[in-house]
Structure 1
Amino acid sequence: MRVAGDNLVHAIIKTIPVLLPSDKLVFVCIGTDRSTGDSLGPFVGTMLKEAGYCVIGTIDEPVHAENLTDRLNEIPPDKVIVAVDACLGKKSSIGSFQINKGPVKPGAGVGKILPPVGHYHIMGVVNAGGFMEYFVLQNTRLSLVISMAKQIASAIQTALPLNGIKEVAAAGE
């Protein structure tokens, strides 16, 4: 489901089971701090970790192509994984989000074959794709990435609060 930032809370509530205990959720925030556009996941991970969520993938300890499999092996099998990653899309979609059930395929936009991640995923369209994807990711505006990361982290904290369910239906409408 593709949504604008103002509908992000509602989309998360509609897609991810909000009645899951917060200790069952693990956020795997994919990307690297070496590429502006690909830093969306690590920024979200840092914000969620600071708020007390169980997170793998932060700015200081990113989850990327070289360590993805090892980091996924750290997650107990009974956990529900929500993957967060950046992606490229149409110019008209920049700044929008995709929230879906099922795994994300990290690296697909730049031709990498990596293991799928997550029971659910949230992706942010950080720039336009179609030509020279690595260059496009490197030259994505940091202000956009940080703004989108704040929106995702805030929406997760509203829709999936650590202290249990609180007025999430009202917040998502």
Structure 2
Amino acid sequence: MMHHIHYLDKKSVDYLSEKLTNHYLTHPEYNEIVVVGVGTNRYSGDALGPTVGSILQAQFNDNRQIRIFGTLERPVHALNLKKTLTYIAKKHSRAYVIAVDACLGQYYKIGTLQLVEEPLAAGISLNKELPPVGQIHLKGIVNNHGPLNHKVLEHTSLTFVNEMAEVISRIIAKSIQEVVPNLIPAQMPGDQATNQTS
């Protein structure tokens, strides 16, 4: 199921955070939350995921139940995505994983946020086959899909991407505040490790 709303809509944070929380509560068997911001810092249009990761990392750095992978400093992209997911599966096997990524779409949908209740299929806009990410994912449509998608991503407004990242971060942060009290307490010593990025 997909839920969508424009990032400038005043109801966007409340609407999508509620949907995200409800999705978690249908399977509340996790002991931590992992957010994976997929993308790169090389193209402004593809920096949405890492920007969200950096914002959330600063906000939840001291929370041992929240793990952030994919920031502007240490992005998760096509070259290291598989390695990152292998690490998450090994070290955070009972985590609820939320993926965040930019995507391209029809012109009139630019600025739309999509919360999709299934794993993220990263790299589709650039015709890349990458492993699925997360139990659920948030995407922001940053520009128009076309024959030169790399160029489109290069010439996307960074201000626009940053504004959208702020909204997505607020959505995830609000949902996290609701979900954390429902997380199962960690039992294994490895789960007590301090927060870290990829």
TM over 0.5: yes
Task: Output the CA distance in 1 between the equivalents of 2:177 and 2:162.
Answer: 21
Deviates more, 1:52-61 or 1:31-40: 52-61
Give deviations 1:103-158, integer Å, cap 9, x for gaps: 11111111001101110000000000022000000100000000000010012112
Contact 1:18–1:160 (CA under 8 A) maintained in structure 2: no
Q: Which amino acid aligns with 1:95?
A: G
- Shift of the alpha carbon at 1:8? 3.5
Contact 2:48–2:162 (CA under 8 A) maintained in structure 1: yes
Provide the TM-score with structure 1 as the length reference.
0.88
Where does structure 1 differ by over 3 angstroms across 4 or more consecutive aligned residues? 15-23, 162-165
Picking from 2, 5, 9, the partner of 1:3 is 5
Picking from 51, 54, 67, the partner of 1:46 is 54
Q: Secondary structure at the match of 2:142?
A: strand
Contact 2:49–2:101 (CA under 8 A) maintained in structure 1: yes
Query: What is the aligned-residue identity percentage?
Result: 35
Q: How many residues align?
A: 165
Q: Which amino acid aligns with 2:104?
A: L
Task: Output the CA distance in 2 between the equivalents of 1:102 and 1:57.
Answer: 19
Is 1:85 paired with 2:101?
A: yes
Is 1:55 paired with 2:68?
A: yes
Provide the TM-score with structure 2 as the length reference.
0.77
Contact 2:16–2:171 (CA under 8 A) maintained in structure 1: no
- Shift of the alpha carbon at 1:11? 2.0
Alignment of 1:1-173 (within 5 A): 1-5=3-7, 6=10, 7-16=12-21, 17=23, 19=25, 24-52=32-60, 53-75=66-88, 76-161=92-177, 164=180
Deviates more, 1:51-60 or 1:34-43: 51-60
Q: Secondary structure at the match of 2:130?
A: coil
Structure 2, unmatched stretches of 5+, are 61-65, 182-198
Q: Secondary structure at the match of 2:104?
A: strand
Structure 1, unmatched stretches of 5+, are 166-173
Task: Output the CA distance in 2 between the equivalents of 1:163 and 1:114.
Answer: 29
